[in-house]
């Protein structure tokens, strides 16, 4: 295995996100960084795009998810994106994401969240049976 990283740095999106009334109306800028753990072995041998991660497809997926407008906090957006990337892109073994919200606090340059999700964690969660409360 030839382990390496593929990523996107500074993906700039304008979307509806936040809990305050004005944030649910006015678009805000988010900056998104993602990094993936990936096995380069096949790609190095073939030197073809089909054997690697199409980061344009990943960027389009992230943009579509962020533009859905259903998220109030960037923590929920980050975890959703990371989990769904592992489901949608089988070659990715681990996904790290950082979402920066420059306009979150007036006297701060930005606020951010960072989250890492691994394929092992994703598989464990999907195999877990939901807990049911009994009376």
Neighbouring-strand partners of residue 119 = none
Residue 133 lies in a domain: no
Please state the domain count of the chain. Answer: 1
Looking up residue 31, the CATH number of its domain turns out to be 3.30.1130.10
Q: What is the largest CA-CA distance in the chain?
A: 59
Residue 12, C-beta contacts closer than 8 angstroms, at least 6 positions apart: 29, 30, 31
132 domain residue, yes or no:
no
- In a domain? residue 7: yes
**Residue at 134 is within a domain:** no
17 found inside a domain: yes
CB 78 within 8 A of CB 38: no
For 15-30, how does the pLDDT look when each residue is reduced to its tens digit (9 = 90+)? 999 888 888 889 999 9
In angstroms, the Cα distances linking 95 to 12, 60, 113 are 18, 16, 14
**Least confident window among 61-65, 102-106, 121-125:** 121-125
CA-closest candidate to residue 62, choices 118, 11, 17, 116: 11
- What is the residue range of 47's domain? 3-127
* Residue 109: inside a domain: yes
More confident position, 107 or 124: 107
Do the domain assignments include residue 95?
A: yes
How far apart CA 72 and CA 94 sit, in angstroms, is: 25
Is 28 part of any domain?
yes
pLDDT in tens, 29-87: 999 999 999 888 998 899 988 888 999 999 999 999 999 878 999 999 999 999 999 99
């Amino acid at each position: 295995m030839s382990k390496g990283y593929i990523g996107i740095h500074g993906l700039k999106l304008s979307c509806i996100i936040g809990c305050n009334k004005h944030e649910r109306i006015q678009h805000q800028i988010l900056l998104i960084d993602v990094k993936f753990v990936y096995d380069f072995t096949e790609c190095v041998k073939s030197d073809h795009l089909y054997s690697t991660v199409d980061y344009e497809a990943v960027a389009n997926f992230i943009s579509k998810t962020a533009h859905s407008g259903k998220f109030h906090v960037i923590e929920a957006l980050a975890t959703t994106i990371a989990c769904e990337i592992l489901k949608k892109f089988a070659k990715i073994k681990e996904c790290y994401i950082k979402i920066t919200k420059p306009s979150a606090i007036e006297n701060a340059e930005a606020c951010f969240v960072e989250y890492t999700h691994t394929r092992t964690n994703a598989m464990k969660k999907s195999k877990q049976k939901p807990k049911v409360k009994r009376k």
